[in-house]
Amino acid sequence: MANPKLFISYSWTNPDHELWVLDLATELRESGVDVILDKWDLKEGHDANAFMEKMVNDPDIKKVALVCDKAYAEKADGRSGGVGTETQIISSEVYAKQDQDKFVAILKERDETGKAYLPAYYRSRIYIDLSDPESYVSNFERLLRWVFDKPLFKKPDLGTEPAFLKDGSDLISLGTTVIFKRAIDAVRNDKQYSDASLKEYLSVLSSGMEKLRIKDNDGIFDDKVIESISSFLPYRNEAIELFLTVANYRDNNESRRSIHRFFESLIPYFSPPEGVSGPTEWDFDNFKFIIHELFLYAIASFIRHERFESASYLMQNEYYVQGNSENGRDVMVPFSVFIDRLQSLGYRNDRLKLKRLSVRADLLSERCKGVGLEFRHLMQADFILFMRDHLDHPDQMFHWFPETLLYIGHHGTAFEVFARSKSSAYFEKAKKLLGIQNKEDLTPLLEAFQKDSRLVPRWKRKPFSPVGLLGFNEIATKP
């Protein structure tokens, strides 16, 4: 592949500016760009106008860079000097070919108000800013990508129509889109109202989920559960992006508390709304799947960014259930409240003769695409939730069931967070996930698993190995 040719148009403003342009041209040549520059290529006796026209007429020159400072912009607009001659050639080319990308302005200078010096004919177009030394390196990379036609962001292949649209179900609007964008921007840019925006988004998402309630009993109910779960997918993706953004940019007590209260606010969806009686357990299966999936992704997001304290916060702190006070049950419940069996999916498995070990695990796997987390991150979070529930509540009758571990296979090796815990220093941080002080705190539970195989889930095959997934024997064996 031949090196791309680039013509540089600029003004002879002063010696310092000419040296800056020369340095830029040199950097480009050192990066593999065949730069055409008057100081190198225009010799005595050459026709200057012909040299300028070459940038348009020479088929080998695919790119032209316009180095814009105050003098260049003024000469271009006034059609004066060599820049004015070049402007007549360039502007006609730009206006004649609206879809071309042969020309780009390189900003060298701004006015005292920060406004870019650009020729009038170019002001509506995107430029590359090399005026700020702090962003010079990243924007020089943009310039190289433009010259080589290697954009940083490539348009992805066109996918298929989402399943929830194909089956004719209506797209439900939860009214979160604008608030979500505001929250993401506030968190990423550390704006003063970040905490308020986060709370607002989570509140609107929580209340909006009432629109997912299945009220029409006509038709096959398990189909309606699948339709409801599918219709929530865009909003689930928003929530995952928010979890990851908070973990990356705003990991603090306030954000942890907001996310904890968000999940607390979702617990009422496991029960009938006030004034409604006589529902079956199936009636809430869509909520049971959605809320369990959201909680799993929240934990996975914090672990992915090694925000172990935040992940532990969501597991350690119990959740308030107001309705429990009416029937004498404990109003504070552990995080295992967010997982419950889904009878409708079991019925679906039998009705359609799917012969699947877990329809829920299948759905979690199928839906884990393009969200910044891989399925292995979900399995790791699921396993940690399983271990933490047993460690914190050894006498509890029902524990967190790590359904995604159906896919772990017979010889699962240590999950990433535990493989890294071979380092004693890393384990000191990661141990917060399990709420333990040292490696030996795991021994009683692992012995209990060995004595009673019923404590470790299995799916018509050997159970997974907690010792293996922990990499227990290697934990804290190195500095």
Dist CA 180 CA 198 (whole Å): 8
> Is 226 among the domain residues?
yes
Can you read off the two tokens belonging to residue 61?
A: 């020159």
DSSP β-bridge partners for residue 423: 478
Percent above pLDDT 90 for the chain: 61
User: For helices 285-304 and 359-367, what crossing angle results, to 10°?
Assistant: 50
Are 204 and 235 within 8 A, CB to CB?
no
pLDDT, residue 206, reads: 96
Q: Is residue 383 included in any domain, yes or no?
A: no
Instruction: Please say which residue of 91, 120, 147 terminates a domain.
Output: 147
| Structure-block tokens of residue 27 | 């950097």
Q: Which domain holds residue 396?
A: 392-479
Which has the closest alpha carbon to 347: 359, 336, 339, 335? 359
In a domain, 221, yes or no: yes
175 in a structural domain: yes
CA gap 27, 200 in Å, rounded: 48
pLDDT value for 321:
92
Q: How many domains does the chain have?
A: 3
Confidence class of residue 119 from pLDDT cuts 50, 70 and 90? confident
Answer for the pair 267, 319: CB distance below 8 angstroms, yes or no.
yes
**Same domain for 118 and 21:** yes
Q: Is residue 94 part of a domain?
A: yes
- In this structure, the answer to whether residues 178 and 84 fall within a common structural domain is no
Distance set, CA 467 to CA 113, 410, 452, 464, 475 (Å) = 64, 13, 14, 9, 11
Domain match, 138 and 167 both: no
132: DSSP letter? -
Q: Are 299 and 315 in contact (CB under 8 A)?
A: yes
Give Cβ neighbours of residue 246 (< 8 Å, ≥ 6 apart): 187, 198, 255, 259, 301
Is the Cβ–Cβ distance between 276 and 333 less than 8 Å?
no
Please tell me whether residues 110 and 212 are part of one structural domain.
no
**b/e 74-92 (16+ beta carbons within 10 angstroms → b):** bbbeeeebbbebbbebbbe
∠ CA 343-348-350, nearest 5°, is 100
Query: How would you label 261-296 residue by residue, b for 16+ Cβ within 10 Å and e otherwise?
Result: ebbbbbbbbbeeeeeeeeeeebbbbbbbbbbbbbbb
Q: What is the pLDDT of residue 98?
A: 47
Residues 175, 137 share a domain: no
Does residue 108 share a domain with residue 247?
Answer: no
The pLDDT of 13-35, averaged and rounded, is 93
For residue 94, the model assigns a pLDDT of 61
**Residue pair 312/328 in contact by the 8 Å Cβ criterion:** no
Residue 351 has pLDDT above 50, yes or no: yes
Q: Average pLDDT of 356-366?
A: 94
Residue with structure tokens 């399983």?
386
Q: Give the CA angle between residues 397, 347, 377 to the nearest 5°.
A: 60
Q: Do 192 and 122 fall into the same domain?
A: no
pLDDT score recorded for residue 420: 97
339: helix, coil or strand?
Answer: coil
Tell me the average pLDDT of the chain.
88
Q: 153 in a domain, yes or no?
A: no
pLDDT tens per residue across span 47-90? 677 777 777 778 888 898 989 999 988 888 888 777 766 776 66
- Residue-level pLDDT at 437: 96
Q: Is the pTM of this model over 0.75?
A: no
Q: Strands, DSSP E only, in 321-391?
A: 332-333
- pLDDT at residue 76, as a whole number: 84
CA–centroid distance for 342 within its chain: 29
Rounded to a whole number of angstroms, the distance between the first and last alpha carbons of the chain is 49
State mean pLDDT over 369-389.
Answer: 95
Are 336 and 389 a contacting pair, CB within 8 Å?
yes
Q: Are residues 84 and 184 in the same domain?
A: no
pLDDT per residue as tens digits for the range 164-189: 455 444 567 888 889 999 999 999 99
22: domain CATH number is: 3.40.50.10140
Q: Is the domain of 135 the same as that of 187?
A: no
Q: Tokens 């031949």 — which residue?
A: 2
Q: What whole-number percentage of the chain has pLDDT above 70?
A: 90
Residues 143 and 167 in one domain: no
Retrieve residue 112's tokens.
């005292």
Q: Answer yes or no: is pLDDT of 18 > 70.
A: yes
Helix 308-316 vs helix 285-304: crossing angle, to nearest 10: 150
Within 8 A by CB and 6+ apart from 215, the residues are none
pLDDT one-digit tens code per residue, 423-477: 999 999 999 999 999 999 999 999 999 999 889 998 876 788 999 999 999 999 9
DSSP code of residue 456: S
Is residue 156 domain-resident? no
The residue from 147, 174, 189 where one domain ends is 147
Residues 183 and 78 grouped into a single domain: no
Same domain, 192 and 311: yes
Give domain status of residue 385, yes or no: no
DSSP string, 257-314: HHHHHHHHHHGGGGSPPTT-----GGGGHHHHHHHHHHHHHHHHHHHHTT-HHHHHHH
Amino acid identity at 285: D
How far apart, in whole angstroms, are the C-alpha atoms of residue 258 and residue 264?
10
Residue 21: in which H helix or E strand, if any? helix 15-30
